[in-house]
């Protein structure tokens, strides 16, 4: 898994607290192994999003996603390529190991970058069911973990963010044979907010990768399905293409 999906899963890490120290250590070891197996120097894909709202209203959008680095310290640029009216809209995400990411959005019709404030990260991203925070990629070091249950083929892990987040905690299901996250349930103070399911796994350059992610906003009864095309790992990329200036240039 990876990209938004990976990010999602990683960031999805949230969880209630208080567990036996041995269990907590086990859960962390599992999550560190998940992260180790997902590690790649870079990633590229073209994503197709289908947004399905309350009344079955469907909108389709496409974006190109590039990520340099892995987990906590990675940088990513996401740029819409369809539909025509949002073509060129871009989002720059600079992830940090010790805090929430910095994000800037570029809208060609305004001609100016806009910083996405920390407190606004719970907002949905362009009407999809992803929030801006869901597009971050956080390191496992930013979460506390607790093994919630052993469900045979998968571990259910409860995670709690150590840093500011819209989520109070989350449950993650990790497949034992591949160490891939297959489902995430994200909770806020008010209860279950979103669920994320990762499907259609295949191994790409040694990394088990979901080709489909489905995110459901439980409170709105809306879901977004993201399918990954042209997915590649370890593609040559440059630091200079992940700056505000590059976002403006459309690099």
Partner 1 sequence: MTGASVLFLALLAQNFEQRGFFENQTLFYPQDTANDSGNVVNQDLFRWEASYKIGDWFKLAGAFDARTDTHQQVERDFRLDVDDRSIQRPAFSLRQLSATFHRGFVTAEFGRQFIRWGKTDILTPTDRFAPKDYLSSVVDSDFLGVVAARVTLTQGDDSLDLVWQPWFTPARMPLLNQRWTVLPPELEGVVIVDNGARYPGGSDTGARWNHVATGYEYSLSYYRGHDYFPLLDAQLLELPFATPVLRVQRYYPEMQMYGGDGAIQFAWVTAKAEAGYFTSTTPGAQNYVLYVIQLERQIKEWSLVGGYAGDVVTGGAATPLEFAPDRQFARSFVGRASLTIDVNRSLTFETAVRAAGSFLRAEYSQAFGQHWRVTPGLAWIRGEMTDFLGQYRRNSYATLTVRYSF
Q: Which residues bind partner 1 (CB under 8 A)?
A: 51, 53-54, 57, 59-61, 82-85, 87-88, 96, 99, 102, 108, 110-112, 115, 117-120, 122-124, 126-128, 222, 238, 240-241, 243-245, 249-251
**Smallest distance, Å, CB 111 to partner 1?**
4
Rounded to 5 degrees, what are φ and ψ at 182?
-110, -20
If the CB atoms of residues 122 and 178 are measured against partner 1, the closer one turns out to be 122
If the CB atoms of residues 185 and 217 are measured against partner 1, the closer one turns out to be 217
CA nearest neighbour of 13 among 190, 137, 155: 137
Find out whether 146 and 13 touch, Cβ atoms under 8 Å. no
Beta bridge partners of 159: 145, 170
Handedness of CA 173, 176, 180, 182 (dihedral sign): negative
Find out whether 188 and 194 touch, Cβ atoms under 8 Å. no
The token pair that represents 8 in the structure block: 């999602």
**Smallest distance, Å, CB 141 to partner 1?**
18
If the CB atoms of residues 88 and 141 are measured against partner 1, the closer one turns out to be 88
**Smallest distance, Å, CB 102 to partner 1?**
7
If the CB atoms of residues 29 and 97 are measured against partner 1, the closer one turns out to be 97
**Smallest distance, Å, CB 117 to partner 1?**
4
- Stated as kind and residue range, the H or E segment containing 154 is strand 154-161
If the CB atoms of residues 96 and 175 are measured against partner 1, the closer one turns out to be 96
**Smallest distance, Å, CB 204 to partner 1?**
23
The CA distance from 216 to 115, in Å, is 26
């Amino acid at each position: 898994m990876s990209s938004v999906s990976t990010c999602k899963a990683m960031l999805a890490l949230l969880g209630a607290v208080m567990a036996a120290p041995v269990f907590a250590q086990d859960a962390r070891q599992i999550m560190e192994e998940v992260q180790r197996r997902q590690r790649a120097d870079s990633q590229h894909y073209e994503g197709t999003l289908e947004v399905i709202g309350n009344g079955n209203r469907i909108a389709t959008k496409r974006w190109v996603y590039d990520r340099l680095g892995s987990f906590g310290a990675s940088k990513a640029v996401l740029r819409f390529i369809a539909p025509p009216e949002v073509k060129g809209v871009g989002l720059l995400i600079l992830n940090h190991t010790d805090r929430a990411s910095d994000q800037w959005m570029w809208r060609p019709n305004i001609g100016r970058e806009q910083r996405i404030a920390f407190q606004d990260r719970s907002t949905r991203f362009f009407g999809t069911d992803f929030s801006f925070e869901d597009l971050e990629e956080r390191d496992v070091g930013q979460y506390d973990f607790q093994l919630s249950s052993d469900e045979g083929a998968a571990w259910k892990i409860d995670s709690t963010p150590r840093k500011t987040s819209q989520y109070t905690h989350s449950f993650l299901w990790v497949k034992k044979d591949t160490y891939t996250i297959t489902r995430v349930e994200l909770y806020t103070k008010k209860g279950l907010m979103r669920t994320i399911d990762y499907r259609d796994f295949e191994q790409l350059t040694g990394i088990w990768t979901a080709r489909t992610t489905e995110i459901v906003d439980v409170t709105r009864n809306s879901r977004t399905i993201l399918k990954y095309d042209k997915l590649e790992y370890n593609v040559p990329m440059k630091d200079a293409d992940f700056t505000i200036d590059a976002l403006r240039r459309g690099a």
